[in-house]
Chains A and B, each alone.
Chain A
Amino acid sequence: MNWINAIVQGVMLGGVYALFACGLSLMFGVMRTVNLSHGDLAVLGAFLVAVLAAAVGISPFFAVLLVLPVMGLVGVALQRGILSTALRTGEMSSMLATFGLAIVLQNVLLEIFSADSRSLDVGSLATAGFQLGPSVSIPYLGALTVAVAVALLGGLQLLLARTGIGRAIRATAADADTAELVGIDSRRVYAWAAAIAVATAGLAGAFFAMRSSFSPSMGPTQLLFAFEVVVIGGLGSLWGTLAGGMVLGVAQTVGAQVDPRFSIVAGHAVFLAVLAFRPQGLLGMRRSRT
């Protein structure tokens, strides 16, 4: 039954990965920008939640709600201050710019908070859970993370499919120049997309920090996992991002069940297998840009 437990734990872990990947996927889908500072923005979110919770003496869950709009503004600043200029000179410029931002963020966080690991204290919720049969336990925090990931990705899917701003985002993603010719302010759309993407990065960072320790240097690793999730799930599909998160999480926990050393390697192996045999991802469609 340990295998079943490993799969269940993998799904929980997958919830965090799906949260991480959500913003990365959105930003790439809309602006064709691979935001290499995505992982570090998530770490920034985790630190902001930790500082706010400690300073005001509130629950990290409440602090997350206050930090999300701040992270949204960080996203708008990122778009207006760095990406809008970089995008004009090509996709490579925006990648380099976000790479630079990642290094700056890591070092600023290191300077302020030192290299020590810390974690977000969520009290007894960190370890509490319920038994499902003799050897399968469901931690409440893990279940909550999965629920938040499903709600977030489902909510974003609804936003994109049913609302005016959602259709404007999809039109801009398909063809930004033509979108402007039907009255869509692409700068505003990009700012919205960046705000949503960075806010979800902050949310992911906070949930990660609740389940394990974090430090200023963990951003690049999380970026790598998020990137793998997007590729496994398929570009342009938010449900694919959720599925990709679950697949990567399960691959890592099942790999760890075989041998703890195999955990990360198993995730990478699944990523490479998807890239080799289904490059459009599990739920992605072959994209054609016209």
Chain B
Amino acid sequence: MSPSTEPLTARAGGARRADPATPPVLSARGVHRRFGSLVVLEGIDIALAPGEALGIVGPNGAGKTTLLDILSGAQAPSEGSVTFQGQDVTRWKADRRCRRGIGRSHQVPRPFTGMTTYENVLVASVQGGSHRRGAAERHALGVLERCGMLAQANRPAAALTLLERKRLEMARALATDPQVLLLDEIAGGLTDAETDELIATIEQLRADGIAIVWIEHVIHALLRVIDRLVCLAQGRVLAEGEPDAVMSDPRVVEAYLGSAA
């Protein structure tokens, strides 16, 4: 399977079928990322259709988080370009991309310590979502409710449990009104019931038309949501396409699951 910049048709029976003619909302072309002699990404081409849910899997060190960093603007690519809504945003800093509609959650939650849960979300609502005063407050409370964090609103973010921090991470990204949401391993460490809740929340976001790029090691959670799957290995796209087909691709099985599989 060769890497493609065209958004692929969604999985058969999936929630959404992306029209191949629709221009991608977010795409990366020919992205390389090097740290000195270490090559982390080597010629990545991916594209995300509006409203599509794209999963990314790959063994540790495959370059998944680096790719998300490059899409969100936290890192600049050594080569290649990132396009969002038809505009080249390669040189845009993360805050500008966020205000334009790219939201991001971290693998290890990074709440603003010294602020309450509500303040964490409010600051994102005002700065990233460009809401003003009363509207910003209502939006922040709405997002907290959606993520099941309303009861924790006035607690210091530093005092939250891991699950609550993960929810806050999601709430804060949602408060910026993203059109594309980049999720980095949010299901890790959750119980089955918590994972079900998380998936229900993500399905709701999709229903609202938000496109999602989701890096996840918890494959069964990922496969319940995504339309399309990309497997990265050693900084390259190893396989891409219909999720079940990618997961059963012998190269993916070997690279991702190792010889034990």
Contact = CB atoms under 8 A, between A and B. Distances in A.
A23 B122 CA distance: 26
The residue among A174, A178, A236 with the most chain B CB atoms within 10 A of its own CB is A178
A183 B178 CA distance: 11
Interface residues of A, number: 21
B122 to A, nearest CB: 7
Contacts of A290: 110, 113
Contact of B113 (A182, A183, A184, A288): A288
A134 interface: no
Contact of A174 (B93, B115, B136, B176): B115
Interface string A267-290: 000000000000000000000101
Given A167-B119, A167-B123, A168-B127, A182 B98 contact: yes
Q: How large is the interface on B (under 10, 10 to 19, 20 to 34, 35 or more residues)?
A: 20 to 34
Interface in B86-139: 93-96, 98-99, 104, 106, 110, 112-115, 119-120, 122-124, 126-130, 136
B114 A182 contact: no
Main secondary structure of the interface of A (DSSP, over half): helix
Main secondary structure of the interface of B (DSSP, over half): helix
Contacts of B110: 175, 178, 290
Contacts of B99: 183
Nearest to A172: B112
A236 B114 CA distance: 10
Given A167-B123, A177-B74, A178-B106, A183 B129 contact: yes
A180 B112 contact: no
B66 to A, nearest CB: 14
A178 B112 contact: yes
The residue among B106, B127, B176 with the most chain A CB atoms within 10 A of its own CB is B127
Contact of B127 (A173, A175, A184, A288): A184
Interface of A: 164, 167-168, 170-171, 173-175, 177-186, 236, 288, 290
Interface of B: 72-74, 93-96, 98-99, 104, 106, 110, 112-115, 119-120, 122-124, 126-130, 136, 158, 172-173, 175-176
